Amino acid sequence: MNKIFTKKRLGLAATCSLSFVFGAFVWHQVDTNLITTDVVREAQKVIGMEFSPSQQDSMLTALNGMAKTYQELRKLNLPNSTVPALNFNPVPVGFTNPDKVSGFKLSKIEAVKMPADKNELAFYTVRQLAELIRTKQITSVELTTFFLDRLKKYNSKLLFVVNFTEEHALKQAAQADAEIAAGKYKGVLHGIPFGVKDLLSSADSKTTFGATPYKEQAFGIDATVVKKLEDAGAVLIAKLTLGELAQGDTWFGGKTRNPWDITRGSSGSSAGPASAVAAGCVPFAIGSETLGSIVSPSTECGDTGLRPSFGRVSKYGAMALSWSMDKLGPICRSVEDDAIVFNTIQGTDPNDPSTIAAPFKYDGTVKDLKGWKIGYLKAAFDSRRTQNHVNDSLTLVKLKELGAELVPVELPKMSAGPLTFVLNAEAAAAFQELVLNHKDDMLAQQRKGSWPNNFRYGQFIPAVEYIQANRARTILIQQWYEQLKGLDLYVAPSFSQNLQLTNLTGNPCVVLPNGLNVRGLPASITFMGQLFGEGKTLMAAKIYQDATDFNKKHPTLNF
């Protein structure tokens, strides 16, 4: 049974039921036998079915009994950390892992020297900073202080920090320095500062989910991802913003801004991680994606992000939005930094039954794509209506120059769009307590497409239709697996039907800059892997990134 990490639970209001009043509905306290044939007659419009009067009458005993059952279940006050007794399995029939064995080999790095202007460290990669620490040109305490100072300097404009973890960070950095001085160097992440999206618990700080109802929430444990990084010697310096409950870039403290243009939001929901990395205020950060929350802010801010395959990284200690779609991954300055962080955080976890064992093999010394078969979504690349058509086309040209054989690919016949209500159904369950307690009114975003409204209408999604959608999802997964057979990976415009599709199928994605748009802001492309194919996907993306300089462009921060 999954451990419950919540210390303080928000209590539910009085038991509630749904009553139709002149075509509207209200939550109110009831005892029994509220549901009548008039209620059933109206309710069947919601599910798109029609039953005869006698059939409606026959349902009443069972429906009123179910209403009592729901009331009893609500008394359990289920915390967000309690997972369903059902696990999503993204593995198609006939699947074999792309990587047969595990292995991790970094590219060769030239000697790194401390810059004359220390401010240049802000945009060094993890590899470069690690060399400075390894060769004792800088200490972890010095580096940690440097990035804490930058976070404080730019936070008033960019609004990317929820809570600083300064006291904890300086202790961790001092410990790292002592270990390194004693000859106990742990590896590339030893002494490197980082931040996490504030839906990940850390023992010494609050975990607010970016939302007013949870501003004072603290769990007193480290999420598995945080623990793995700290065990590798990395230093947590800040809890970074997310759009409230992982939607958008607006949280209870305001709107997180894009360092390239502070009149713009940083997009979401990994708003703080993307903004802080782009502004040179953390070397890397951990974000999350359910339906675009790494891809979108990484694009907006010009970062390089990895959304791993579903099940690759433990979600223990993370806020649940959708148990079958949530993924945690790194947002960095380079593909190889993504590979370094992913290699540390990936793997199974007994605390998270959704994790799946699979090999991971990465070789950063490979220089070209000769012999690689890389698919591309032909219709999406051919469309001149896409925001990034010119840059995306040039990406295909560069991949050919690097030796890749490009193979046109079509999306599956089944559309992914109608299945995305799976997310709303699971999110409505994860945060039902807000609806029952009317605390959904405390959220800042109250548009029709915002979570409060989604949580409310999600209460009407029938369990039968949710199950049917997941059965259709099984077909979609199998269709996509069959279409990708024989390919090492494929590329896709960042914002196309592919984004919905692969968040449902669980395929991994590397999003990286591939130019600037007409406004002079970053644009991106996505390298898409076979399920558990992060190794080849990262390798191909690195080869492309090394042949360009888009990830080396940074905002000027003249504010």
Band the pLDDT of 16: cuts 50, 70, 90: very low
- Mind listing the pLDDT tens digit for each residue in 471-483? 999 999 999 999 9
Beta strands in 455-549 (DSSP E): 489-493, 509-516, 522-529
Choose, from 269, 309, 322, 354, the residue flagged as catalytic.
Answer: 269
Q: How many CA atoms lie within 13 A of 342 on its CB side?
A: 38
- pLDDT at residue 11 in the model: 28
Judge whether residue 46 has pLDDT over 50: yes
**Structural domains for the chain:** 103-415+471-552 (3.90.1300.10)
Give the span between the Cα atoms of 198 and 445, in whole angstroms: 18
Residue whose tokens read 């949870």: 214
* pLDDT averaged over every residue in the chain: 93
Helix axes 140-158 and 166-181, enclosed angle (nearest 10)? 160
Quick check: 266 and 497 in contact, CB under 8 A? no
- Secondary structure tally for the chain: helices H, strands E: 17, 19
| C-alpha closest to that of 276 among 196, 370, 351 | 196
Active site residue 361: no
Q: How confident is the model at residue 313 (pLDDT cuts 50, 70, 90)?
A: very high
For this structure, is 17 an active site residue? no
Range list of β-strands (E), 4-158: 17-21, 24-28, 103-105
- Catalytic status, residue 494: no
Listing DSSP states for 388-417 in one string gives THHHHHHHHHHHHHTTPEEEEE---SS-SG
Q: Are the beta carbons of 367 and 106 closer than 8 angstroms? A: no
Predicted confidence (pLDDT) per residue in 122-156, tens digit: 999 999 999 999 999 999 999 999 999 999 999 99
pTM of the model: 0.93
**Residues 293, 322, 324, 334: which is the catalytic one?**
293
Indicate the angle between helix axes 335-345 and 534-546, nearest 10 degrees. Answer: 160
Tell me whether the omega of the peptide bond preceding residue 201 falls within 30 degrees of 0, making it cis.
no
- Catalytic residue of the set 17, 81, 197, 228: 197
